[in-house]
């Protein structure tokens, strides 16, 4: 399926690793001009070597003022992928203020801030746009030791619906993808214990975790005009987990 993305300009957060990096690579291959945002300079440097022409921006999205300085004048952006996220796992009775603040600042507040920057630019230009927020199956199912993470992703799903409602009249679509465990470095670190992994795999009808490209394919579809009648939706990439 030809997605017709060539010639557009996209911004991808959390671009240094995993789903974000895979998204940048796929967009670059599709002829999209990409602004890649990461807090890790070394990851951006290697990404630019792999994908010449990608515009790197190094910033910690948990810092509101630094993010405004880094992205406030980013220029015209047609497509946005809010992928940056942290997963700080703690038993509920041991959740710390620091883990709460960091998780919500990066996983939710930064989505609001970056989306405001992009949406205001689109509206000022009178241009249509598409925003994809990378959520999780954890937005809809509780997982042990994930109370804060689940909360951020549940909030992201509802934020997406509210954004879709308010931005739709401006021809800006907003959707989420909701993956199961994805075999990124973060996914491998959090699910390397075979016993822990089995408890999740036993609930996935397809019997496996997702690969990065499984999620990237859905992100690109939602960014493209092929999904022009889809907004406010949460698209599972979960092997059937949410159906079980």
Report helix, strand or coil for 50: helix
Q: Which of 17, 97, 100, 153 is catalytic?
A: 153
Q: What is the DSSP string of 57-117?
A: EE--TT-HHHHHHHHTT----SEEEE-------B-GGG--HHHHHHHHIIIIIHHHHHHHH
Handedness of CA 136, 139, 142, 144 (dihedral sign): positive
Rounded distance between C-alpha atoms, residue 71 and residue 227, angstroms: 27
Rounded distance between C-alpha atoms, residue 23 and residue 147, angstroms: 27
149 as an active site residue: the answer is: yes
Report helix, strand or coil for 173: strand
Per the CB < 8 A criterion, the answer to whether 76 and 55 are in contact is: no
- What angle do the packed helices 97-104 and 147-167 form, to 10 degrees? 30
Q: Which of 149, 161, 196, 198 is catalytic?
A: 149
The closest alpha carbon to 134, from 159, 158, 153, belongs to 153
Residues 6+ apart with CB under 8 A from 60: 39, 66, 67
Neighbours of 201 (CB within 10 A): 18
Active-site residues, by number, are: 149, 153
């Amino acid at each position: 399926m030809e997605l017709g993305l060539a010639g557009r300009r996209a911004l991808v957060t959390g671009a240094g690793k995993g789903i974000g990096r895979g998204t940048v690579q796929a967009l670059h291959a599709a002829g999209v001009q990409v602004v890649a945002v990461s807090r890790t300079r070394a990851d951006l440097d290697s990404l630019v070597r792999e994908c010449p022409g990608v515009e790197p921006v190094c910033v910690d999205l948990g810092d509101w003022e630094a993010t405004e300085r880094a992205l406030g004048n980013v220029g015209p952006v047609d497509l946005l992928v809010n992928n940056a996220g942290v997963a700080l796992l703690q038993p509920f009775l041991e959740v710390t203020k620091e883990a709460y603040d960091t998780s919500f600042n990066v996983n939710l507040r930064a989505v609001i801030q970056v989306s405001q920057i992009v949406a205001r630019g689109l509206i000022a230009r009178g241009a249509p746009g598409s925003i994809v927020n990378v959520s999780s199956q954890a937005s809809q199912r509780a997982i042990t030791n994930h109370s804060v993470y689940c909360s951020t992703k549940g909030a992201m799903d509802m934020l997406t619906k509210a954004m879709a409602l308010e931005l739709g009249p401006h021809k800006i679509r907003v959707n989420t993808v909701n993956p199961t465990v994805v075999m990124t470095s973060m996914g491998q670190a959090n699910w390397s214990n075979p016993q822990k992994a089995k408890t999740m795999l036993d609930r996935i009808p397809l019997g496996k975790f997702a690969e990065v490209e499984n999620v990237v394919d859905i992100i690109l579809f939602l960014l493209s005009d092929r999904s022009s009648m889809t907004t406010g939706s949460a698209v599972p990439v979960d092997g059937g987990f949410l159906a079980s």
